[in-house]
Amino acid sequence: MASFDYDVLVLGGGPGGYPAAIRSAQLGMKVACVERDRLGGICLNWGCIPTKALLKNAEIYHTMQVAPEEWGIAYDNLRVDFSKVIKRSRDVSDRVVKGIEFLFRKNKIDSIKGFGALTGKNSVEVTDTNGAKRTVTAKNIVIATGARARELPNLKPDGKQVLSSTEAMIMDHIPESMVVIGAGAIGMEFAYFYKTFGTKISIVEMMPNLLPVEDAEVSTEIEKIYKKQGYQIFTKHKVNGVKLEKKSVKVEIEAVDGGAKQTLEAECVLVAIGVQANTENIGLEKLGIKMTKGFIDVDGNMATPVAGIYAVGDVAGPPWLAHVATHEGIIAAEHLAGQHPHTLDYDNIPGCTYCQPQVASTGMTERAAKEAGIEYKIGKFPFTALGKARAMGETDGFVKLIIGTKYDEILGAHIIGYEAAEMIQEVVIGRAHGATGLSMTKTIHPHPTWSEAVMEAASVAEGEAIHL
């Protein structure tokens, strides 16, 4: 039998890679992880965690702005030390990354610093920061190299006038104005963050709505709220070009239906138009690993057609979410260990956007249910009718459930509101265990809570509403 350095070698230490490494070690295998930067990947270093730290700062600042009138709390000289806002976010990231490093030590996982490229189905060449190379062999290889922000042609982020999400996290000042290109989760979160601290924000989106993957009613609602708050919104507009001048950026936009062109001028532009996989120069082609639209093809166990090679997380295609990557990493680890891993239900993946109000959803949109020819009923409950929302002073938004008429199954849930990202999990768990609109209605919920709104929405669909 062939002898290898490791049973499992993981390329990439992000939210797909490090769970794959830890789960493999838990199952008794000898494991190493190759990572060119810090463990935790984009999520822990430049995405999920540090951005939420920034957004919490913005939320607190907004609360203090409205405190004298709404909450009866008086103070003088409210001000922001933006450098401390950024520092807190970086400190949070550092602490979480150290936690992953501890878990690697606890599980006896070797952490190999460098850039890894496959040289065979069982071998990886690792190049360290000094250019020194070494070859590491393994019985199984898990590719978890992630993805990076897509760039506009000939427009490289410079941290001053042109930003990706990475540069937007470490600005040294609050920009006077910003054009945000792309109204997906990343664009909307940074738009909210900087607008709260006083930046004049213009959002440009090619699709008809903000957050275009969400249910149309949710997208319409957040657009209405943001317009009221002073955001400049250009949906159904494409970007023709970006011109960098000495002290400003000029973005030429045009309506997608052929309308008039106009130029938006701002201090900087944030490009948030999606991601592309990190698949270049890692040896995929020579092994015959197939890709679709730049993302690695895998089966339900995250295995590629090349025996012993797996791919998980963003590099394996959408949905590009950390929690999906984690489950995929665990599935790959269990499968290569000879176990029978759980099946990941891609129809019940929660997606969350952490601007305020938050947006969260799972399952089918109403548009999708209609296109599929499914008969359905709608349960919709506004937060204006929820006691907890009134008490908290957060009454924007609603819960919307899409429920099948024939079997009363919950086809989808869409929430826009203050704690939407926490509330959606009730529906995700419910759908995973066969909950119906009626069972959701009849399940007692504590009062007063945000989660009551889910029960209330179900009761609307079932014709048993008490509070509407």
| Digit-coded pLDDT (tens) for 376-392 | 999 999 999 999 999 99
Q: Are domains 6-46+86-148+276-344 and 162-273 of this chain identical in fold? A: yes
Q: Domain boundaries in the chain?
A: 6-46+86-148+276-344, 162-273, 348-461
Full-model pTM = 0.95
pLDDT of residue 234: 97
Q: Which of 62, 173, 447, 467 is catalytic?
A: 447
pLDDT of residue 1: 53
Question: Do 414 and 378 touch, CB atoms closer than 8 A?
Answer: no
CATH superfamily of 162-273: FAD/NAD(P)-binding domain (3.50.50.60)
Low-confidence ranges of the chain (pLDDT < 50): none
The structural architecture, per CATH, of the domain 348-461 is 2-Layer Sandwich (3.30)
The structural architecture, per CATH, of the domain 6-46+86-148+276-344 is 3-Layer(bba) Sandwich (3.50)
pLDDT of residue 6: 98
Give the other-Cβ count within 10 Å of 288's Cβ: 10
| Digit-coded pLDDT (tens) for 291-316 | 999 999 999 999 999 999 999 999 99
| Digit-coded pLDDT (tens) for 408-458 | 999 999 999 999 999 999 999 999 999 999 999 999 999 999 999 999 999
CA atoms within 13 A on the CB side of 151: 12
In the three-class reduction of DSSP (H, G, I as helix; E, B as strand; rest coil), residue 429 is classed as: helix
Average pLDDT, the chain: 96
pLDDT of residue 260: 83
Question: Do 98 and 178 touch, CB atoms closer than 8 A?
Answer: no
Question: In whole angstroms, what is the distance from residue 292 CA to residue 270 CA?
Answer: 28
| Alpha-carbon distances, residue 9 vs 114, 195, 222, 264, 400 (angstroms) | 13, 43, 44, 48, 44
Provide the sign of the torsion angle of the four alpha carbons 66, 68, 72, 78, taken in this order: positive
Residues contacting 394, CB < 8 A, separation 6+? 357, 383, 417, 418
Is 447 one of the catalytic residues? yes
| Long-range contacts (CB closer than 8 Å, 24 or more residues apart) made by 185-188 | 185/211, 185/351, 185/352, 185/353, 185/354, 186/149, 186/272, 187/270, 187/272, 188/222, 188/353, 188/355, 188/359
pLDDT of residue 154: 87
pLDDT of residue 258: 81
Output phi, psi for 382, to 5 deg: -80, 150
